[in-house]
Amino acid sequence: MGGGFDDAARHRFAVTLGAILAGGLSSRMGTDKAFVEVAGRPMVDWVAAALGDVARPLVIVGRSSMPGFRALPDPVEAPVGPLAGVTAALAEATRTGTDAVVAVAVDQPFLRRETLRRLVATFAGTAVVPVAEGARQVTCAVYPAAWYAAASRELSGSGSIQSLLDRMTPRLVEAREWRGWGEDGASWFSVDDPAALAVGLERFGSVLE
């Protein structure tokens, strides 16, 4: 896990579930984003490698199956955004007695391990969510298992993660703080289509070295 963290932070690493959100249709990519190759490896492998540094076990959410992973289907059938995946992961965390979920999207291969470590180390019972250019980066965030009931209600009411955060009290990580971690936006850069992949490799390719 690397140094620089106290015993309490190390405990949080030990009781955190890693959830890769993979329930989208990949319509803009034209093929399953999870298996799109980035620097010679499937995108999902890059995400899992970074997430595995801070959370165990790892699950794929929004799928009925995926080779090499435990898969959790979304709790609703139609694609409704990442809230469904987060809710499924929170249900699993509640079932297993895990304190929190680190949720990241399958199309974010440039995740910085240090950012994930810092997010988990910051967790103290409420969601920890980075903010970039005024937007909460909800697919690179930590969510408490204690929010499961609230997330379920929000999902049943056709809400979103953003509306859930509006109702709750998240710990927001502003740019001044995450820049101090060495973050530059790579961790929440989404590879939605081939053009975005080319941009990401040009801007953040060094993360993969």
Return the pLDDT at 42.
95
Mean pLDDT (whole number) for 16-26: 84
Distance CA 60, CA 24 (A): 12
Element holding 70 (H helix, E strand): strand 70-72
Give all domains of the chain, ordered by start, each with its CATH number: 7-203 (3.90.550.10)
Chain centroid, CA 34 distance in Å: 14
Neighbours of 17 (CB within 10 A): 23
Task: Provide the pLDDT for residue 153.
Answer: 95
pLDDT tens readout for residues 74-99: 887 656 789 999 999 999 999 999 99
pLDDT per position as a tens digit, 115-173: 999 999 999 999 999 999 999 999 999 999 999 999 999 999 999 999 999 999 999 99
Q: Which residues contact 82 (CB under 8 A, 6 or more apart)?
A: 21, 23, 103, 105, 138, 139, 161
Tokens of 165: 């955060």
Tokens 């490799």 belong to which residue?
A: 201
Is residue 3's pLDDT more than 50? no
104 contact partners, CB below 8 Å, separation of at least 6: 18, 19, 20, 21, 47, 50, 51, 111, 116, 139, 140
Mean pLDDT of 63-80: 83
d(CA 6, CA 121): 9
pTM for the model stands at: 0.91
Place of tokens 């910051």: 122
- Alpha carbon separation from 93 to 99, 173, 181 (Å, rounded): 7, 23, 27
201 class by beta-carbon count within 10 Å (0-12 exposed, 13-18 middle, 19+ buried): middle
Give Dmax (Cα) for the chain: 45
